[in-house]
Each structure stands twice: as C-alpha cells, then as structure tokens.
Amino acid sequence: MQPKRLVGLLVGLLLVGAGCTSSLSPTSAPAASAPAAGGSAAPAAGGSGTAFQPPNLSGKKLTIVVNGDLEQSKITLAHAYDLLKQWGLDLTVNYGGTSQVVMAAMVSGQAQVLEFSVQGTLSSVNNGVNLQAFALAQPRQDYAMIGRPNIKTLADLKGAKIGVLDTVGINGVQATLALQAAGLTQKDANIIQVGGQGARVSALVAGRIDATMVGFSNYLQLKSQGYNLLYSYTKEQPNLWDDVLWASPTWLSQNADIATAINEAVLESFRWFDNPANKQAYVDASTAAVKGLDASLAGQMYDVYTQNTMYPPNTILTTDGLSFNQDAFVKAGSLPKALPMSQVCNTTYAQQALQAVGQVQQ
C-alpha cells in the first residue's frame, strides 16, 4: 500500500471510529502526588553527582494517544505523565482507541506521540507510516501462563490445549516461548484460537482449554481455585517488552527537549514504584483509575510486580532490545520483515535521560 493511500485510509478510520465505543477519550489517572523533581526515587549513582533537576516545560504542548484502556500495569506510566504536567507540560493523554483509531490520530496529526506495542506499530511502519521508537514505556509484560488444576508444570502441556488470541500475535510468541522452556514445540500441544483474555479465561474455567496467558490479576483471582502458575513472562522473559512510545522523526528532531523529558519522567516513575514507601500511593492511584479494582487486589499486584522486577530503575530503550522484539514477531509471522533499526529506533533521548537522572545502584 502506498503511503498517501494509507493516510487516507487511516484518516477515514478515525472519522468512523470517532462515533464508536472504542473512540479516544481523555483520561487522567488520579496519580499520587509527587514532588516536582519526582523525588521519591532512590539516590542516583553514576550520574553527574548532583540531584536531578527536572526540565521546565512551561509553554509546551503535547497529545499522547494510547492503544487500550488505563489498566493497572499502566499506572506507573500514568504517574510519569503526571510528572510531565508538574514540569509544566500542557499534556493531553487519550486512552481507549483501537489500533486503527490511534494510528489514524498519529497520521492525521491529532496526536504527536503514540503509546503502543512493538508488533502493532511496526505493522503500520511496514505499511508506510513513518514512526520511530524513542522511549520504553513498559519494560515488562504483565502476563503469565496458567493451567487448570491438573496442569501443574510446563511439561504437562504436552498434548494439552493452549488458548490464544491468535497464533501470529503476542500470544503465539508467548506459547512458543513457554513450550520451548519445557523442551517442547508447537507440534507437542494444540494451540487454539479462542479470543481475548476474557474469552480465554471463560474457556479455561469451562474446561474447553487446559492453559492460557492472562494478566496477573486474573491469575490471583483463580489461584485459590487450584489453577497453577506455569510460566511468568514478566520474570522469565525480561526482554519481551510491552508498550513503547513512538513519534515521527520530524517531531522528534523539533522537540528533542520533550522527548528527553518523557524518558526522564518514565525513569523517575520506575523509581517511584520501586520505593516501598510509595506502595499505598500506588494502590490508591490504581483503585481510583481502574474501574472495579479493589485495594486488596491492587496491593497484591504491587507485590507481584515487585517480585517480578516489573520496572527496573535503569531500563531504557535500546536498539538490541527493539531488535529482539521485532525478530520474535517476524519469526511468528505477524510482521513481514525485519526493518533496519536506524529507521525505526532513536535511542538518543533515552540515553540523555539516563545520564541526566543518573543510574541507581541495584
């Protein structure tokens, strides 16, 4: 598809999507209050030797569009957006768009930054959309493979039915990784296309499938019923990223200060989360932002994320990391080819941010 034709298609999708339930809507997470410098982080080491001084973003404006809703795994990122506002940025964050709607918002210029998965964004780049990764928003995936009570270990997956959304997307990659950890291949199990996470959980409980991938909140609710944790992608696959922040090369070159500040805010938010003193603030922000989430489960999720090193304090976007994720999807068949990292990745702003905030000793 030619780029001009793609632009027209995506803009049309935006206009159609605007009247649907999946259309974009501004959402502001009730983030816990933080000092202007994001000062809840652990002391830095290896930086300039002085305390991090946040940038002055007064007079600058930005719209970020997010694929999907505000979930608990995104609360830390919502805290980063709150920091950017404290630093003076006139920031609008729109959640809830489908992949077509959020990409249309980027192509039409209604948003300048996109929060989206590697596979979802690179699919569009392969079709002519000019975007580059510039910040790592979520360095770990909130995903685990769980099994019915009779499926106790990965070895029990031989001959089992594994439910997935589809075989070429992230679930297909996850199924392959879990089977490989058991010394098995896809031929050793029955991988069945079931649907989204809600549909997969229903199928698991009904006994139509034996195992599937779920967020940890679903696992915690099923654990008491005898369902088993077989594989933590958060812990066992630390290089498998979740969301990345993307922008056009033109916008990045003209707004280097904002791009660097976003990376600084993300690093500060990781460190805010990693400080146990902020657990209650994190729980409060989570329950206020995520409909139906109670404080007990939110607290358990904080503990699970901490145990699985969900937000490493010094983690930034790297070309090696993006290449690893891209290659996983190419092998799964969900991307047609591997694109050059020089085309789709710019780590300059992440590196500058880590230097500015300093590295935390671990």
Q: What is the mean pLDDT of the chain?
A: 87
User: What is the structure's pLDDT at 98?
Assistant: 84
Going by C-alpha positions, the residue among 193, 197, 180 that lies closest to residue 237 is 180
Residue 14 in contact with residue 88, Cβ under 8 Å? no
Between CA 210 and CA 147 the distance in angstroms is 6
Q: Count the Cβ atoms, other than its own, within 10 Å of residue 296.
A: 11
Crossing angle between the packed helical segments 75-86 and 279-289, to the nearest 10 degrees: 100
Domain boundary among 206, 236, 266: 236
Q: Are residues 76 and 115 in the same domain?
A: yes
Q: For 303-348, how does the pLDDT look when each residue is reduced to its tens digit (9 = 90+)?
A: 999 999 999 999 999 999 999 999 999 988 889 999 999 999 999 9
User: What is the structure's pLDDT at 39?
Assistant: 40
Q: Are residues 42 and 189 in the same domain?
A: no
Which of 52-61, 73-82, 90-99 is least confident?
90-99
Mean pLDDT of 81-106: 94
Question: Residue 309: helix, strand or coil by DSSP?
Answer: coil
What CATH number does residue 136 fall under?
3.40.190.10
pLDDT greater at residue 79 or residue 167 = 79
Mean pLDDT of 154-172: 93
Mean pLDDT of 29-56: 53
Check whether 267 has a pLDDT greater than 50: yes
Q: Are residues 346 and 316 in the same domain?
A: yes
Mean pLDDT of 357-361: 93
Enclosing domain of residue 270: 3-140+240-360
Q: Are residues 194 and 100 in the same domain?
A: no
Question: Residue 288: helix, strand or coil by DSSP?
Answer: helix
Query: Could you give the maximum distance between any two Cα atoms of the chain, in Å?
Result: 60
Give the model's confidence band at 53: pLDDT under 50 very low, under 70 low, under 90 confident, else very high: very high
Q: Are residues 30 and 154 in the same domain?
A: no
Give the model's confidence band at 293: pLDDT under 50 very low, under 70 low, under 90 confident, else very high: very high
Q: Are residues 128 and 274 in the same domain?
A: yes
Please state whether 183 falls in left (phi above 0), alpha (psi between -120 and 50) or beta.
left
Domain count across the chain: 2
Q: Are residues 220 and 324 in the same domain?
A: no
Give the model's confidence band at 43: pLDDT under 50 very low, under 70 low, under 90 confident, else very high: very low
Give the model's confidence band at 96: pLDDT under 50 very low, under 70 low, under 90 confident, else very high: confident
Q: Exposed e or buried b for every residue in 346-357, given b needs 16+ CB within 10 A? A: bbebbebbbebb
Residue 107 in contact with residue 6, Cβ under 8 Å? yes
Between CA 199 and CA 98 the distance in angstroms is 18
Q: Are residues 131 and 261 in the same domain?
A: yes
Between CA 298 and CA 308 the distance in angstroms is 15
Q: For 123-140, how does the pLDDT look when each residue is reduced to its tens digit (9 = 90+)?
A: 999 999 999 999 999 999
Check whether 49 has a pLDDT greater than 70: no
Q: For 219-257, how does the pLDDT look when each residue is reduced to its tens digit (9 = 90+)?
A: 999 999 999 999 999 999 999 999 999 999 999 999 999
Q: Are residues 255 and 332 in the same domain?
A: yes
Token couple for 61: 């404006």
The reported pTM is 0.85
Q: Are residues 86 and 107 in the same domain?
A: yes
Q: Are residues 126 and 15 in the same domain?
A: yes
Q: Are residues 263 and 135 in the same domain?
A: yes
Instruction: Calculate what percentage of the chain has a pLDDT beyond 90.
Output: 80
Domain boundary among 236, 252, 270: 236
Domain boundary among 196, 219, 236: 236
DSSP state of 31: P
Residue 278 in contact with residue 32, Cβ under 8 Å? yes
Total residue count of the chain as it appears in this document? 362
User: What is the structure's pLDDT at 21?
Assistant: 31
Cα-flanking dihedrals φ and ψ of residue 288, to 5°?
A: -75, -30
Q: For 166-204, how does the pLDDT look when each residue is reduced to its tens digit (9 = 90+)?
A: 888 889 899 999 999 999 999 999 999 999 999 999 999
Between CA 171 and CA 232 the distance in angstroms is 13
Token couple for 79: 């805290």
